[in-house]
Structure 1
Amino acid sequence: MNKSFSLSRLKVDHQQVKDIFMLFIGVLCYAVGYTAFILPEKVVMGGVSGLSALIFYATAFPPGYSIWLLNFLMLGIAIKTLSRKFIYRTFIGVTMLAVVVAVLQPFFAAHPVITAGEDKFMHVLIGGLMGGIGLGVIYSHNGSTGGTDILIAILNKYFRMSFGRAMQFIDFTIIASSYLLFHSVELIVYGAVFTLVASYMCDYIVNGARQTVQFIIISKHYKEIADVINNSVHRGVTLVEGKGWYSQKEVDILIVMARRYESQDIFRCIKKIDPDALVSQTNCQGIFGEGFDTFK
């Protein structure tokens, strides 16, 4: 029993070490995009990083310090709203991000990777891609960098505002505030581009590996189709008994979960046996369990 407990504890610790390592990789990727491509172009994006950038442009106060201070100020305000686990993950993520940004910002200021007169849009695009990839890696390994997540928790509690609407409101307010400093609509557009690109890449990284589909198949030849999918595609098939409301006849329904790249093989199997089969294919955010992704 003690041996089993030790092995279980070792496995948990190994997963925690892996998560912290990947958290650092994600933070590093985000920080490079932020300090090497965004800060030199004086672009303000959404979130605490955007607010820290705005403070840096106005006062030259290092963004690494303001990222840390702003996040922990919000944590202090919302400490009763947030769970202990969220606070712990945010503390690690925010501290790591603040330290890396504090180191990289003066480095890239002294050794710039971009030069004046180059394509500004391309720099914003690269920064957004790196930022989104970094955030995707962080979220995929149970990490958090705080930011607007804390404000959203407060808005949800006191104003009953939805997650998406709260995030849009906060990001738009921060991006639009750059006009007070630079009086440039162009920079507002660049800030919006960064936020959209980063959000898309983050979502792609988090859900891209879970590109799974669900098939619902109705056919008189359901037995043959189920056998072929089992034996050829090597995917499980679930049989559900149903009833057609128009015909009032009993029908047998097959449900198949599969990876997206297996879709064509499944379609070929169905078409070969019953070209007239009724098939519905639905994209899934993720399928967890045996043969698919593991729970985290």
Structure 2
Amino acid sequence: MIWLQTKKSFVVIMGAFLVAISMNLFLIPANVYSSGFAGVAQLLSKVISEYTPLHISMGYLLLLLNIPVAILGWKKVGKSFTLYSFLSVVFSTFFLEIIPIKHVAHDLLLNAVFGGVILAIGVGFTLKWGASTGGLDIIAMVLSRQKDKPVGNYMFILNGIIILTAGYLYGWEKALYTLVTLYTSTRVIDAIHTRHEKLTALIITRKGEELRKAIHSKLVRGITAIPAKGAYTNESKDLLMIVITRYELFDLERIIKEVDPKAFTNLIETTNVVGFFRRD
């Protein structure tokens, strides 16, 4: 268990390091903007520096923006997910402060593409290990667990505001390159880990009741228990059916491995869910 937590922490910290590399060596020097709260912090830092006597670094702004979201996630999502997500934000702030801002390439397109790819690798592997980089990812989890509403519209609105503000203040060419970064990062993240995809897990186990209690202790999801029988052995077993998001797959796999390593699990991509799929 400790080894697993250590590996997860290492992945989260490395993800934060890649996010900071992307920002300080590619996106910030080129005035190309990231998506989500990172983009908001990046834009706010530049606006405050240019239009006021103050200077607040992007790293500190990113941390400040994530504090209320972390409190929301702690109350609505769960301690583990929120702790690792906030760990990612803290280390992102740390790396953003210690890595110097400098040009690696002077071509805007190269900065937009490579910045987006490096950022997406960091975010994608963080998500794959059951954490997030904070901000909209935590909001997505809250919406998913409470109302099962897609966060795509909210992300589109926020990113649209970032692009329009950047275009208005610093030229529409920079806004178009920001679109290149958003498209590149989205494609790479989807290749590593699809954020809002739902999965149906069919679990055949000899420890149905024990596994059901373990899943309910970690995930706020309804489970349907179906009596099953092995066709070859004629042995009675339990078939547990549960619909989860990709965010929760890491936790589900870990629970199954701990409770019944011999369980057979079939994961099916779910295209649509009608009604709530959380546990009431």
Equivalent residue letter for 1:108: I
Report how far residue 167 of structure 1 moved: 2.1
Report how far residue 80 of structure 1 moved: 3.6
- Tell me how many residue pairs correspond in the alignment: 200
Equivalent residue letter for 2:14: I
Q: Is the 8 A contact 2:20 2:95 kept in 1?
A: yes
Match of 2:89 among 84, 90, 94: 94
The answer for unaligned runs of 5 or more in structure 1 is 1-11, 208-238, 240-284
Report how far residue 78 of structure 1 moved: 5.9
TM-score by length of 2: 0.62
Structure 2 CA distance for partners of 1:43 and 1:87, relative to 1, 3 Å: same
Partner residue, 1:204: 191
> Which piece of structure 1 moves more, 77-86 or 139-148?
77-86
Report how far residue 191 of structure 1 moved: 1.4
Structure 2 CA distance for partners of 1:34 and 1:293, relative to 1, 3 Å: farther
Partner residue, 1:185: 172
Structure 2 CA distance for partners of 1:84 and 1:77, relative to 1, 3 Å: closer
Equivalent residue letter for 1:196: Y
2: distance between equivalents of 1:14 and 1:158?
32
Deviations 1:123-145 (A, max 9, x none): 11000010111111211222221
Match of 2:28 among 34, 39, 45: 39
Partner residue, 1:22: 11
1: distance between equivalents of 2:26 and 2:153?
28
Q: How does 1:113-262 map to 2 (within 5 A)?
A: 113-114=104-105, 118-152=106-140, 161-182=149-170, 184-206=171-193
1:64 matched to 2:59? The reply is yes
TM-score by length of 1: 0.59
The answer for unaligned runs of 5 or more in structure 2 is 50-55, 195-230, 232-248, 254-260, 268-280
Report how far residue 69 of structure 1 moved: 0.7
Match of 2:2 among 3, 13, 16: 13
> Which piece of structure 1 moves more, 134-143 or 77-86?
77-86
2: distance between equivalents of 1:155 and 1:17?
29
Structure 2 CA distance for partners of 1:152 and 1:170, relative to 1, 3 Å: farther
Partner residue, 1:108: 101
Determine what percentage of the aligned residue pairs are the same residue: 23
